[in-house]
Amino acid sequence: MLVVIGNVLDPHEVAALRELAEEVPFEDGRNTAGRYAREVKSNLQAAPSAARDAIFAKVQAALESNVVFRAAARPRKFARLLLSRYEPSMEYGLHVDDPIMHGQRTDLSFT
């Protein structure tokens, strides 16, 4: 099921997070892909950094305070968040998200 939730962040917050993302180092996205997804994944993902963690904290707080998100997802906890970047010719091909990551069920994903 797809649920579209608009305006989780306002345009000023999005601009601030995009600016902060410029400080984040990125690495090969295949490092976080499951066994089969690794074959079709071609992107970059944020490496650990204070800037990345600040972005994740802001996004998670915005989601947790969004009424529609809470009603649709009913999250008990969040698995790790990922910040991805695509450059020309990069894509994440046809894949199925892993149902368990790092010992946790991952029943919901979002972009």
CB under 8 Å to 1, separation ≥6 — which residues?
none
Within 13 Å, how many C-alpha atoms sit on residue 88's CB side?
0
Percent of the chain at pLDDT exceeding 90: 61
Q: Residue 84 is inside which H or E element, if any?
A: strand 84-85
Task: Report yes or no: 30 and 44 within 8 Å, Cβ to Cβ.
Answer: no
Asked if residue 111 lies in contact with residue 105, where contact means CB atoms within 8 angstroms, the answer is no
CA distance linking residue 87 with residue 10, whole number of Å: 25
45 pLDDT exceeds 90? yes
At 47-102, the pLDDT tens digits run: 999 999 999 999 999 999 999 999 998 888 888 889 999 999 999 988 877 777 77
Helix (H, G, I), strand (E, B) or coil at 28: strand
Q: For the whole model, what pTM was predicted?
A: 0.84
The secondary structure of 41-53, three-state, reads EECEEECCCHHHH
Find where tokens 């529609």 sit.
Answer: 68
Q: What's the chain's average pLDDT? A: 90
DSSP state of 78: -
